[in-house]
Amino acid sequence: MIKTRFTELVGLKTPIIQAGMGPFSTNMMCGTVSQAGGLGLVSTSGLASQLMAPEMFEIFMESTPGAKEAGSPLELYKLIYRNILEQTKESKGVFGSNIMVSEELRGMAIKLVETLVEITDENEEMAKRANVIITSAGDPVKMSELVKGSPLIWGHVVPSIKHATRAVKAGCDFIVASGQEGGFHGPWEPISSMILLPAICEEFPDVPVVGAGGYCDGKTLAAALVLGGDGVQMGTRFLATKDCEFADLWKNKVVETGDRGSLRARGMVGPARYLKTPVSQEMCQVTIEYAPGTYTGVPDTLKSIPARVLMAEMKGFAATFSGEEDKALFAGGECAQRIKDIPTAKELIERTVKEAEEILGGIAGKVIS
């Protein structure tokens, strides 16, 4: 068993987080990961898509039992939590949410956090096992007053020491250090996980730090721990599991991806990493023309680039779920080239921990005194 400050803080059996990938549901996978001893996360970005991308919202609802009876996205959010609490009743697993707090989504983020606080206040079991929140893609300080003072255990995803400093100022309980290798939304000025994780661990030695971006197995979990981290968050690796609700077309694309199989282009809330296809390569060319800051580290705004650049992401994901492979878009990290199978989430967690334990146990034998 691997114990870290993070597992002790959250009450986990393993130092593994399933990333809250969007814009589609991760509800069922969240429960399965939680049952297996990891931290399952509900992806909430799809809840904010009702007006902007109704086709995304419909796909989100289809994967949530009883969703049609929910009167609003917030009622649907409550239903999701009730479903997962029941799903994890025997295992007593821990779960939470990933909530994007970018300026574009901050209004919805506030409502989601308020709803989560309400849920945990009203239900003692929720307060014990569903009290984790990981915010991302925005400034955590603006959420501090809302989150602090609540029963929530709070982490924030950061791409640099500068952003980690904001997370500490906001009062976050832990930090997720996300390197440029990660899939989907990323930083304007990317730094690799090999540099980022130890740098943040050294800068904030009293705060648990979880590595994200490129982590996918026992080797990379062991590496994160040796670099000073307290665990790992995996997105692309969990996407390619039997329990993930994402389309089989997407899972198969992850497994098929080989060397140099990803690229960066402009996404809905900033730079994003996609698996390499003719569609994503075309997005790359459009990014060069209309959003070059994606490659030069100079942020742009929603008002400064054509709407069609942003909506290309939504159209591509919809095509993925409808099976239109020639129009499909697949978010994914660099680690896709190392993913060769589609196990269950439980199998993935068990073998990742076992491999990491074996590696860590054998390190001493490689040291010559």
Tens of pLDDT, residue by residue over 217-263, are: 999 999 999 999 999 999 999 999 999 988 899 999 999 999 999 99
**% the chain with pLDDT above 90:** 52
Predicted local confidence at residue 35, as pLDDT: 94
pLDDT tens across 43-87, in order? 887 776 655 566 666 666 666 776 667 667 888 888 888 889 988
- 86-100: average pLDDT: 90
Instruction: Look at residue 291 and tell me whether its pLDDT is greater than 70.
Output: yes
Q: How far is 313 from 79, CA to CA, in rounded Å?
A: 28
Rg of the chain's alpha carbons, rounded to an integer?
A: 19
CB atoms within 10 A of CB 267: 23
Q: Which residue has the tokens 């832990």?
A: 174
Place 276 in a pLDDT band, splitting at 50, 70 and 90: very high
Whether the CB-CB separation of 185 and 271 falls below 8 Å is answered with yes
pLDDT tens digits along 188-225: 888 999 999 999 999 999 999 999 999 999 999 999 99
pLDDT at 228: 96
6-20, 193-207, 312-326, 353-367: segment of lowest average pLDDT: 312-326
| Cα gap 329→317, rounded to integer Å | 5
How many other CB atoms sit within 10 Å of the CB of residue 244? 25
The DSSP secondary-structure symbol of 61 reads H
More confidently predicted of 365 and 289: 289
Q: pLDDT: is 339 or 126 the higher one?
A: 339
The dihedral over CA atoms of 77, 81, 86, 91, expressed in degrees to the nearest 10, equals 150
How far is residue 184's CA from residue 246's CA, in Å, rounded to a whole number? 14
Share of the chain above pLDDT 70, in %: 93
Evaluate whether 88 touches 52 at the Cβ level (below 8 Å): no
| 167 HSE (CA, 13 A, CB side) | 29
Angle 96-198-161 from CA coordinates, rounded to 5°? 75
> Which pLDDT belongs to residue 61?
65
- Domain map of the chain by residue range? 5-247+340-364, 250-334
- In tens, the pLDDT along 103-141 reads 677 788 888 888 888 888 888 888 888 899 999 888 888
Give the residue, 31 or 63, on which the prediction is more confident. 31
Q: What is the mean pLDDT of residues 28-44?
A: 92
Residue 306 has a pLDDT of 81
Residue closest to 238 by CA, chosen among 339, 136, 337: 339
Supply the mean pLDDT for the chain.
88
| Alpha carbon distance 353, 351 (integer Å) | 5
CATH architecture for segment(s) 5-247+340-364: Alpha-Beta Barrel (3.20)
For 176-190, how does the pLDDT look when each residue is reduced to its tens digit (9 = 90+)? 999 999 998 888 888
Q: Which pLDDT does position 56 carry in this prediction?
A: 65
Measure the CA dihedral 233/236/240/246, to 10°: 100
The pLDDT score that the predictor gives to residue 139 is 86
352: Cα within 13 Å, side-chain hemisphere = 31
Residue 49: its pLDDT value, please?
62
Look-up of token digits 């997005």: 283
Q: Residue 136 corresponds to which tokens in the numbers above?
A: 């991302």
Q: Within 154-192, where are the H helices?
A: 161-170
- Strands 153-158 and 174-178 turn out to be parallel
What is the pLDDT, as a whole number, of residue 67? 65
pLDDT at 142: 85
Higher pLDDT, 165 or 139: 165
Per-residue pLDDT band at 304 (split at 50, 70, 90): confident
Give the integer Cα–Cα distance in Å for 250 and 279.
Answer: 14
